[in-house]
Amino acid sequence: MICSIGSHGHGRRLHAQGRNRHREHAPEPKITRRCEVGVGYREKRGDAGYELVDIKDFELPLLDEPIPPAMDKYQQPHTKRWAAKIASLDAFVFVSPEYNHGIPAALKNAMDFLFAEWKDKAAGFVSYGGAGGARAVEQLRLVLAEVHVATVRAQVLLSMMTDFENFTTFKPAPLHEKSVGTVLDQVVAWGGALKQLRS
């Protein structure tokens, strides 16, 4: 799922990504349906607006652009719609599970469709899995570096063992609230600073 954080009077837009529900068959934590981590900050914070964006809404097939995305010559209507959404955002908070030490295929595929729309923006992470999704975040950092996204150091690691009931109902430990706040502080600051490079 993509949780996007949108403009709120400050010209800043943030966004977060995770799984495409149509392509995954494992039990689906409720966090992927409503992106509950951090969304409550829409009411608590005034430094940025928050927008949710879900990959599934863009109906992206396996990458089908005939020309490399770095050439900025998108041809498919779904790519152009996806590109317009990502271009409208200033920073991102990716919400992702971890599968077999990696990120979901749907998320990687969605990222690979674009290039320029990611450039010179900031990103943070909320991940979940048996090991808190830490290894998925490591992969995301490598992929995002290639498309010129600056990733903040702070991250939120959620355990399927302790932060979810029966592996499906999201019930995070209270300590994560502070971690979410730290991620957002860093992403908002970096997103604002990097915006000057795109002006």
- pLDDT at res. 43: 57
177 has a pLDDT exceeding 70: yes
Percent of all residues in the chain with a pLDDT value above 70, rounded to a whole number: 78
Instruction: Say how far residue 58 (Cα) sits from the centre of its chain.
Output: 15
- pLDDT at res. 7: 30
Looking at beta carbons, which pairs linking 37-41 to residues 24 or more positions away fall under 8 Å? 37/3, 37/95, 37/126, 37/156, 37/158, 37/170, 37/172, 37/176, 37/180, 38/3, 38/5, 38/93, 38/95, 38/126, 38/180, 38/183, 38/184, 39/3, 41/180, 41/181, 41/184
Number of structural domains (the chain) is: 1
Q: Where is pLDDT greater, at 174 or 142?
A: 142
Provide the domain limits for residue 59. Answer: 3-198
- SS3 assignment for the chain: CEEEECCCCCCCEEEECCCCHHHCCCCCCCHHHHCHHHHCHHHHCCCCEECCECHHHHCCCCCCCCCCHHHCCCCCHHHHHHHHHHHCCCEEEEEEECECCECCHHHHHHHHCCCHHHCCEEEEEEEEECCCCHHHHHHHHHHHHHCCEEEEEEEEEEECCCCEECCCEECCCCHHHHHHHHHHHHHHHHHHHHHHHHC
* pLDDT confidence bin for 17, thresholds 50/70/90: low
CATH (domain of 22): 3.40.50.360
Read off the pTM: 0.80
- CB atoms under 10 Å from CB of 52, counted, come to 18
